[in-house]
Amino acid sequence: MSGTPLDYIGHAAGSRAGAILPLTWFTLVVSIVVIVIIAALVLRASLRFRARGGASETVGVPVERGADGLRWITIGLALTAVPLLVTLVWTMAALAQVAGPPLANPGLVLDVTPHQWWWEVQYNGATPDAIFETANEIHIPTGTKVLVRLHGGDVIHSFWVPRLSGKTDAIPGQNNLSWLDADQPGVYRGQCAEYCGWQHAKMAFEVVAEPPAQFAAWRDHQLADAPQPTTPRIAQGQAIIVYRCGLCHAVRGTDAGARTAPDLTHLMSRRMIAAGVLPNTPGALLGWVQHPQGVKPDSLMPDQHLSGAELTAVGAYLETLR
């Protein structure tokens, strides 16, 4: 991520967003021009009316139709029809462009399940040992069409990566398909785009687009189990995580195997925590572990009330989950 905010909103980095963005700018500019013209006409009419003495409480406003009254309606209709027609045709063309090309033969297939308020991401493989899960951070190889199978979770959410792809809703009881690609390496912010409860705004994720070789290395690393503790303090931290966190979270290679919260096996490989809310720094991480309700009130993760020594041990263990 670099450059000015204008760069950020102004440039598409994927073929889907590339089809949508010029249309967005076009309709925005047309809308602004229409508002300006209408405002100018209203202003002109009211100033003229006032110049002629205006209305009083006892004298009604006479309805006049000058000889050229209908001409304005004709001009107005013609002016409206042209941009509407252009918008209609352009929208149809953009829709055709963003619809199904890679659905038949995608380069990568992801299963994404949104939850209040985080994103579960499953990478698939030909064999079970090639499947793994991560959360809130999606890695993709550049120049590859990625099919995203969206599974309905608890309530309606919407998957949106503005610079790469348009919005697709994830609806409970339904599977929707979306796709995206990135033409250059980078980190692209995604955001839930459907109001889904109190912490809807804090339901972000990141798409990390990497050259294919780098992506393959990342994928191989994600497949590995978490390392075993090498010191007593790390072992204590692992015991606390398994005992207290393992009912919701998974750490592959330990007894923590629940799937109702983000998989923590390679937690430290992620840039952000808490669904794009906090940077993944030691301080933010332990603050989040201890008091998540202060950061995301009403989220399902409870405050932990660990002692200082316990929190230090947890920090030492989490640090090894690279």
Give me the residues that bind ligand CUA (CB under 6 A), please.
114, 117, 157, 192, 194-196, 200, 203
DSSP H stretches of helix in 140-231? 212-223
Q: How far is the CB of 65 from ligand CUA (least distance, A)?
A: 52
Count the residues in the chain: 322
* Minimal distance, residue 45 CB to ligand CUA, in Å: 44
Which candidate, 240, 266, 262, places its Cα nearest to that of 250? 262
Give 15 or 116: the residue with its C-beta nearer to ligand CUA. 116
Q: Which is nearer to ligand CUA, 97 or 176 (CB)?
A: 176
Cβ nearer to ligand CUA, comparing 72 with 195: 195
Give whichever of 171 and 306 is closer to ligand CUA, judged by the CB atom: 171
Q: Mark residue 136 as left, alpha or beta (left: phi above 0; alpha: psi -120 to 50; beta: remaining).
A: left
Least distance to ligand CUA, CB of residue 206, Å: 15
Q: Which is nearer to ligand CUA, 166 or 237 (CB)?
A: 166
Based on CB atoms, which residue is closest to ligand CUA, 234 or 301? Answer: 301
Sign of the torsion angle spanned by Cα atoms 207, 213, 216, 217: negative
Backbone angles phi and psi of 273, in degrees to 5: -125, 170
**How far is it, in rounded angstroms, from Cα 263 to Cα 41?**
59
3-state helix, strand, coil in the chain (%, to 5): 40, 20, 40
CA-wise closest residue to 267 among 242, 250, 246, 248: 250
Least distance from C-beta 200 to ligand CUA, angstroms? 4
Helix or strand or coil: residue 215?
helix
> Residue 114 Cβ, how far from ligand CUA at the closest point, in Å?
5
Q: Minimal distance in Å, beta carbon 203 to ligand CUA?
A: 4
Q: How far is the CB of 197 from ligand CUA (least distance, A)?
A: 7
**203 or 316: CB nearest ligand CUA:** 203
For residue 268, give the DSSP letter.
G
Q: Alpha carbon of 114 to those of 129, 170, 171, 175, 204: distances in Å?
A: 24, 7, 9, 12, 10
